[in-house]
Amino acid sequence: MVETHEDSELVLNQFNKLINELLKGTLNRNTFRPWEVELLIDIEVCNLRDGNKRETLRRYMRSVQRHMEKGAPSPMKLSEYLEGLRVKRENRGLVGAAN
Protein backbone atom coordinates (compact mmCIF):
# COMPACT_ATOMS: atom_id res chain seq x y z
CA MET A 1 0.00 0.00 0.00
CA VAL A 2 2.81 2.42 0.83
CA GLU A 3 4.50 1.64 -2.49
CA THR A 4 1.37 2.70 -4.39
CA HIS A 5 1.23 5.98 -2.48
CA GLU A 6 4.90 6.66 -3.16
CA ASP A 7 4.47 5.73 -6.81
CA SER A 8 1.46 8.02 -7.08
CA GLU A 9 3.38 10.83 -5.41
CA LEU A 10 6.32 10.30 -7.78
CA VAL A 11 4.00 10.35 -10.79
CA LEU A 12 2.34 13.54 -9.53
CA ASN A 13 5.74 15.22 -9.12
CA GLN A 14 6.73 14.15 -12.64
CA PHE A 15 3.38 15.38 -13.98
CA ASN A 16 3.82 18.76 -12.29
CA LYS A 17 7.31 19.05 -13.76
CA LEU A 18 6.02 18.22 -17.26
CA ILE A 19 3.18 20.76 -17.12
CA ASN A 20 5.46 23.44 -15.68
CA GLU A 21 7.91 22.81 -18.53
CA LEU A 22 5.05 23.26 -21.02
CA LEU A 23 3.94 26.46 -19.30
CA LYS A 24 7.47 27.85 -19.49
CA GLY A 25 7.89 26.64 -23.06
CA THR A 26 11.02 24.68 -22.17
CA LEU A 27 10.97 20.95 -22.80
CA ASN A 28 14.71 20.48 -22.45
CA ARG A 29 14.77 16.71 -22.40
CA ASN A 30 14.65 14.03 -25.02
CA THR A 31 13.34 11.11 -22.98
CA PHE A 32 9.81 10.76 -21.69
CA ARG A 33 7.88 8.09 -19.87
CA PRO A 34 5.12 6.43 -21.94
CA TRP A 35 2.37 8.12 -19.92
CA GLU A 36 4.03 11.52 -20.48
CA VAL A 37 4.03 10.92 -24.24
CA GLU A 38 0.33 10.02 -24.05
CA LEU A 39 -0.41 13.23 -22.17
CA LEU A 40 1.63 15.36 -24.58
CA ILE A 41 -0.17 13.86 -27.57
CA ASP A 42 -3.53 14.37 -25.87
CA ILE A 43 -2.69 18.00 -25.08
CA GLU A 44 -1.72 18.57 -28.71
CA VAL A 45 -4.89 16.89 -30.00
CA CYS A 46 -7.03 19.10 -27.75
CA ASN A 47 -5.80 22.03 -29.86
CA LEU A 48 -6.13 24.71 -27.20
CA ARG A 49 -6.34 28.32 -28.31
CA ASP A 50 -3.17 30.24 -27.51
CA GLY A 51 -5.01 32.82 -25.44
CA ASN A 52 -6.49 30.23 -23.09
CA LYS A 53 -3.79 27.58 -23.25
CA ARG A 54 -1.70 28.68 -20.28
CA GLU A 55 -4.65 29.21 -17.96
CA THR A 56 -6.30 25.97 -19.08
CA LEU A 57 -3.07 24.05 -18.40
CA ARG A 58 -2.78 25.65 -14.95
CA ARG A 59 -6.35 24.69 -14.07
CA TYR A 60 -5.82 21.21 -15.49
CA MET A 61 -2.70 20.80 -13.34
CA ARG A 62 -4.59 21.83 -10.18
CA SER A 63 -7.42 19.46 -11.04
CA VAL A 64 -5.01 16.55 -11.56
CA GLN A 65 -3.34 17.37 -8.23
CA ARG A 66 -6.70 17.20 -6.42
CA HIS A 67 -7.66 14.06 -8.36
CA MET A 68 -4.45 12.25 -7.41
CA GLU A 69 -4.56 13.44 -3.79
CA LYS A 70 -7.91 11.65 -3.57
CA GLY A 71 -6.24 8.41 -4.63
CA ALA A 72 -6.10 8.32 -8.43
CA PRO A 73 -3.06 6.28 -9.51
CA SER A 74 -2.28 8.39 -12.58
CA PRO A 75 -3.10 11.78 -14.09
CA MET A 76 -6.25 12.13 -16.15
CA LYS A 77 -5.80 13.32 -19.71
CA LEU A 78 -6.53 16.91 -20.65
CA SER A 79 -9.34 15.69 -22.91
CA GLU A 80 -10.97 13.99 -19.89
CA TYR A 81 -10.63 17.17 -17.86
CA LEU A 82 -12.16 19.28 -20.65
CA GLU A 83 -15.01 16.78 -21.09
CA GLY A 84 -15.74 17.01 -17.36
CA LEU A 85 -15.93 20.79 -17.62
CA ARG A 86 -18.27 20.52 -20.60
CA VAL A 87 -20.59 18.15 -18.73
CA LYS A 88 -20.64 20.43 -15.67
CA ARG A 89 -21.48 23.42 -17.88
CA GLU A 90 -24.31 21.51 -19.54
CA ASN A 91 -25.67 20.34 -16.19
CA ARG A 92 -25.64 23.89 -14.84
CA GLY A 93 -27.50 24.98 -17.96
CA LEU A 94 -30.11 22.28 -17.43
CA VAL A 95 -30.58 23.22 -13.78
CA GLY A 96 -30.92 26.89 -14.68
CA ALA A 97 -33.42 26.08 -17.45
CA ALA A 98 -35.52 23.93 -15.08
CA ASN A 99 -35.99 26.78 -12.58
Question: CA-to-CA distance for 29 and 40, rounded, in angstroms?
Answer: 13
pLDDT tens by residue, 13-55:
999 999 999 999 888 888 999 999 999 999 999 999 888 899 9
How does residue 8 score in pLDDT terms, banded at 50, 70 and 90? confident
Percent above pLDDT 90 for the chain? 68
pTM: 0.84
Compute the mean pLDDT over every residue in the chain, rounded to the nearest whole number: 88
Would you say the C-alpha torsion 63, 73, 16, 80 has a positive or negative sign? negative
User: What's the residue count for the chain?
Assistant: 99
How does residue 6 score in pLDDT terms, banded at 50, 70 and 90? low
Q: What are the residue boundaries of the structural domains of the chain, listed by start?
A: 2-98
Q: What's the pLDDT score for residue 50?
A: 80
Q: What's the pLDDT score for residue 95?
A: 62
